[in-house]
């Protein structure tokens, strides 16, 4: 029996080991069963478990404590002092003025007129066409990596993708660069996607200047950004002048310039207030709303419905549901050619890109169906995805340059999806058969070139693919020994009902 | 109060409570589902349900207890919906942990506060290692490779650091008469 002190180190070293394995994610089924049996009957063991997991969770949310520049949400959201305990806090007059406009914005979004729908759809189509025409810059892959900053700097974010960037300021950046606290990115033209280590993803659109201030915050000196914030990064903050825009679980956009600052909310809600937290309450913006604010975070203009000012919000949709690790990069915008020797050719990283976000299949398609299994990994079995199924498709693409001496280049990466994988397609014929349905619209694949090369993925000694038992995590190793490509199409059910 | 007033008060009240308690709710979810991908999913679902059921919340109750109750149900639902048999804690133990969380709220808050002190006392190398593994949530194998060590060795180092932090927190709470 362990000591009955809350959280204290137990004498039962098996318990210590089991808990450590749970935290590490290495606990076996047997360990879980034995731990569960112990926790059921031993309160002290359970208290130790709770305290240790609490430590683990706090570290996940807290580090690095000194640099987290979370806005003073508690203070900003504090109830009015003149409210009685137990009563709802009284909204201030400014809040009252704003509220109807917020709801008007929501209502407008909820009931778009046919003309608005047409205009929005047409705009989106034009923007997608324009965006697809922008070749993604990968010249940086071949450049020598910049010298690492001094060791004492704390790296808190990563530049994950760029599109035709022209940098101004002291230096330029390439995809994969780690960014430290205080680092300034000054983009003259083009786009850059930054992933903060707490999970927030930001797309910066030039001309813009952004300073990284923590693993969950940034300062936008000027320009336009779109932020996509997953639950674990709730509280992500963008400061502009003397105001702070605080995420409350959302996707939002900011336009900062010489005049008023615009805040647009696409999903969820944000709080806007002075950076010093001096406001008794923030201004809450709900999905579909937009507003202008002065330098101190006070409203400076009428609300307008959020529009397509932030055309790149859609580009973040894919990043919202996938996370890549290792030698993989997520591409915001697919290039026009996904054939061998295309713009993605390099010997360093493979790429993941969203091909189609929502397709209703009109015919059965052949695929390797991902089936749950009682082991650690899901099973793949040949089958068909039925006609009428709504799916989205991603492509893993690895395309190497010619290598001398028959050297094999292998790259390994991990992809975590927010939903279970339905199927994968990796043999030549099945890829070719599904390019038209599931491939990037307008893009060239090797099936359409005369010098068709093998593009499929052949699981074996050099190519490896495994999918976790919960079907959400895909681990892939691509091995290539000549100028060729490996491609795997990953099919997920469409998220929308 | 008219409808927009009511809605705004509702929004603001929820935002207040959620901003204050989200870390505690997240910690509870991690106790039920230590894998961060599971924890994130359950926490996200919990957040949505909390918002949807906010009208049913009794202000006389503890928000954290209410939120943990919903998180427990969401965790059970999440694990039951998974296609494979996923071994984790039983419903009974989850209930016991929820009860512990509710009863030990102040102690756990004190442990969070003490952690700040203990992190400051960590040698630079250990703190840096924690940041590498927790902040970026990179794969242990990748981080181990970057540090020219093995995954097992890195897991052991992390366990030692967490044990040191745990003991340091115990010490702080003991000195303050909370343990």
Q: What is the mean pLDDT of residues A399-406?
A: 72
Q: Is the pLDDT of residue A437 over 60?
A: yes
Q: How far apart are CA A164 and CA A184, in angstroms?
A: 18
> For residue A92, which of A293, A299, A327 has the smallest C-alpha distance?
A299
Q: How far apart are CA A202 and CA A212, in angstroms?
A: 11
In this predicted structure, what is the pLDDT of residue A439? 93
pLDDT digits (tens, 9 = 90+) for A214-251: 888 999 999 989 888 877 788 899 999 888 998 887 77
A10/B contact by beta carbon, under 8 A = no
In a 10 Å sphere around its CB, with 0-12 CB exposed, 13-18 middle and 19+ buried, how is residue A411 labelled? buried
A79/B contact by beta carbon, under 8 A = yes
Count CA atoms within 13 Å of residue A303 on its CB side: 26
pLDDT digits (tens, 9 = 90+) for B21-71: 888 888 899 999 887 777 877 887 888 888 888 888 888 888 888 898 899
Q: How far apart are CA A165 and CA A187, in angstroms?
A: 7
Q: How far apart are CA B7 and CA A477, in angstroms?
A: 51
Q: Which residue has the tokens 């093998």?
A: A454
User: What pLDDT band is residue A459 in, cutting at 50, 70 and 90?
Assistant: confident
**B44 Cα to chain A: minimum distance (Å):** 6
Q: What is the mean pLDDT of residues A166-189?
A: 82
Q: How far apart are CA A155 and CA B135, in angstroms?
A: 9
Q: What integer best gives the mean pLDDT of chain A?
A: 71
Angle formed at CA A310 by CA A296 and CA A419, multiple of 5 degrees? 110
pLDDT digits (tens, 9 = 90+) for A150-174: 334 577 888 887 777 788 866 778 7
Q: Is the pLDDT of residue A451 over 60?
A: no
In this predicted structure, what is the pLDDT of residue A153? 52
Q: How far apart are CA A418 and CA A246, in angstroms?
A: 24
**B161 Cα to chain A: minimum distance (Å):** 11
pLDDT digits (tens, 9 = 90+) for A276-322: 766 557 788 876 677 888 888 888 765 554 444 554 434 443 444 56
Contact status, residue A219 vs residue A238, Cβ threshold 8 Å: yes
Q: How far apart are CA B32 and CA B42, in angstroms?
A: 10
* Chain B 77-116, residues with CB within 8 Å of chain A CB atoms: 82-90, 92-93, 96-97, 100-101, 104, 107-108, 111-112, 115-116
The one-character DSSP state at A327 is S
Q: Is the pLDDT of residue A348 over 50?
A: yes
Q: How far apart are CA A359 and CA B87, in angstroms?
A: 35
Count CA atoms within 13 Å of residue A329 on its CB side: 27
User: What pLDDT band is residue A385 in, cutting at 50, 70 and 90?
Assistant: very high
Distances (CA, A) of A21 to A27, A45, A469, B153, B156: 5, 15, 19, 13, 10
Contact status, residue A68 vs residue A34, Cβ threshold 8 Å: no
Q: Which of A60, A65, A98, A469 to mutate to test the interface with B (most CBs of B within 10 A)?
A: A60
Taking only Cα atoms into account, the Rg of chain B, rounded to an integer number of angstroms, comes to 19
What number of other Cβ atoms are within 10 A of residue A165's Cβ?
22
Spell B94-122 as b/e; 16+ CB within 10 A means b: bebbbebbeebbebbebbbebbeebbeeb
Distances (CA, A) of B91 to B66, B84, B87: 17, 17, 11
Q: Is the pLDDT of residue A89 over 50?
A: no
Greater model confidence, A100 or A182: A182
pTM score over 0.80? no
Alpha helices in chain B (DSSP H): 3-32, 36-52, 63-81, 91-103, 105-121, 124-130, 140-146, 151-175
Report CB contact under 8 Å: A63, B5: no
User: What pLDDT band is residue A328 in, cutting at 50, 70 and 90?
Assistant: confident
Any idea which of A57-61, A147-151, A370-374, B108-112 has the lowest mean pLDDT?
A: A147-151
Dig out the tokens for B175 from the structure: 């000195």
In this predicted structure, what is the pLDDT of residue A384? 94
Q: Which of B40, B49, B68, B172 to mutate to test the interface with A (most CBs of A within 10 A)?
A: B40
Greater model confidence, A73 or B174: B174
User: What pLDDT band is residue A211 in, cutting at 50, 70 and 90?
Assistant: very high
**A12 Cα to chain B: minimum distance (Å):** 14
Report CB contact under 8 Å: B163, A9: yes
What number of other Cβ atoms are within 10 A of residue B177's Cβ?
6
Contact status, residue A32 vs residue A23, Cβ threshold 8 Å: no
Any idea which of A61-75, A85-99, B150-164 has the lowest mean pLDDT?
A: A85-99
Distances (CA, A) of A308 to A112, A121, A238, B157: 14, 10, 20, 49
B41/A contact by beta carbon, under 8 A = yes
Q: What is the mean pLDDT of residues A114-134?
A: 32
Distances (CA, A) of B94 to A81, A188, A462, B31: 38, 53, 43, 9
B44: nearest CA partner in chain A = A231
Dig out the tokens for B157 from the structure: 């180092």
In this predicted structure, what is the pLDDT of residue A278? 64
Contact status, residue A287 vs residue A270, Cβ threshold 8 Å: no
Report CB contact under 8 Å: A469, B111: no
């Amino acid at each position: 029996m362990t000591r009955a002190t809350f959280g204290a180190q137990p004498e039962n070293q098996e318990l210590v080991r089991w808990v450590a394995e749970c935290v590490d994610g290495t606990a076996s089924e047997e360990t879980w069963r034995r731990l569960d049996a112990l926790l059921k009957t031993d309160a002290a063991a359970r208290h130790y478990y709770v305290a240790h997991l609490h430590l683990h969770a706090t570290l996940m949310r807290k580090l690095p404590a000194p640099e987290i520049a979370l806005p003073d949400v508690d203070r900003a959201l504090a109830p009015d002092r003149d409210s009685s305990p137990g009563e709802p806090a009284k909204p201030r007059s400014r809040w009252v003025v704003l509220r109807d406009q917020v709801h008007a914005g929501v209502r407008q979004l909820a009931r778009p007129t046919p003309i608005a729908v047409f205009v929005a759809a047409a705009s989106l189509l034009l923007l997608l066409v324009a965006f697809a025409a922008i070749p993604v810059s990968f010249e940086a892959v071949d450049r020598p990596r910049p010298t690492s900053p001094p060791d004492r700097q704390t790296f808190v974010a990563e530049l994950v993708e760029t599109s035709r960037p022209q940098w101004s300021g002291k230096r330029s950046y390439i995809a994969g660069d780690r960014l430290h606290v205080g680092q300034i990115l000054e983009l003259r033209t083009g786009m850059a996607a930054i992933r903060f280590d707490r999970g927030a993803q930001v797309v910066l659109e030039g001309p813009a200047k952004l300073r990284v201030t923590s693993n969950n915050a940034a300062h936008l000196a000027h320009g336009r950004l779109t932020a996509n914030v997953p639950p674990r990064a709730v509280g992500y903050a963008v400061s502009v002048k003397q105001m702070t825009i605080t995420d409350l679980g959302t996707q939002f956009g900011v336009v900062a310039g010489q005049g008023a600052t615009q805040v647009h909310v696409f999903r969820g809600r944000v709080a806007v207030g002075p950076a010093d937290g001096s406001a008794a309450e923030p201004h809450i913006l709900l999905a579909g709303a937009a507003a202008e604010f002065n330098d101190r975070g006070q409203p400076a203009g009428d609300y307008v419905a959020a529009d397509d000012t932030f055309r790149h919000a859609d580009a973040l949709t894919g990043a919202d549901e996938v996370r890549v690790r290792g030698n993989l990069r997520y591409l915001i915008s697919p290039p026009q050619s996904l054939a061998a020797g295309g713009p993605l050719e390099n010997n360093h990283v493979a790429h993941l890109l969203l091909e189609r976000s929502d397709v209703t299949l009109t015919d059965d398609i052949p695929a390797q169906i991902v089936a749950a299994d009682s082991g650690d990994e899901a099973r793949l079995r040949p089958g068909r995805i039925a006609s009428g199924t709504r799916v989205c498709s991603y492509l893993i693409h690895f395309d190497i340059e010619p290598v001398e001496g028959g050297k094999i280049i292998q790259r390994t990466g991990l992809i975590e999806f927010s939903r279970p994988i339905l199927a994968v397609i990796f043999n030549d014929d099945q890829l070719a058969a599904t390019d038209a349905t599931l491939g990037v619209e307008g893009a060239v694949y090797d099936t359409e070139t005369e010098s068709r090369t093998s593009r499929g993925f052949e699981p074996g000694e050099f190519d490896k693919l495994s999918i976790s038992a919960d079907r959400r995590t895909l681990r892939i190793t691509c091995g290539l020994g000549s100028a060729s490509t490996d491609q795997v199409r990953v099919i997920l059910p469409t998220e929308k009902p | 109060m008219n409808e927009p007033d009511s809605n705004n008060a509702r929004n603001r009240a929820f935002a207040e409570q959620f901003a204050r308690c989200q870390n505690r709710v997240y910690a509870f979810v991690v106790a039920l589902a230590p894998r961060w991908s599971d924890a994130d999913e359950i926490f996200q679902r919990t957040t949505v349900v909390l918002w949807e059921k906010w009208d049913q919340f009794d202000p006389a109750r503890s928000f954290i207890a209410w939120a943990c109750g919903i998180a427990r149900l969401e965790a059970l639902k999440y694990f039951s919906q998974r296609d494979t048999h996923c071994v984790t804690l039983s419903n009974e133990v989850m209930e016991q942990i929820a009860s512990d969380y509710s009863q030990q709220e102040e102690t756990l808050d004190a442990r969070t506060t003490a952690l700040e002190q203990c992190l400051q006392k960590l040698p630079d190398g250990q703190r840096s290692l924690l940041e590498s593994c927790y902040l970026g949530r990179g794969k242990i194998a990748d981080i181990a490779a970057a540090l020219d060590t093995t995954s097992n060795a890195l897991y052991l180092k992390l366990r030692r650091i967490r044990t040191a932090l745990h003991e340091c927190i115990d010490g702080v709470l003991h000195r303050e008469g909370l343990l």
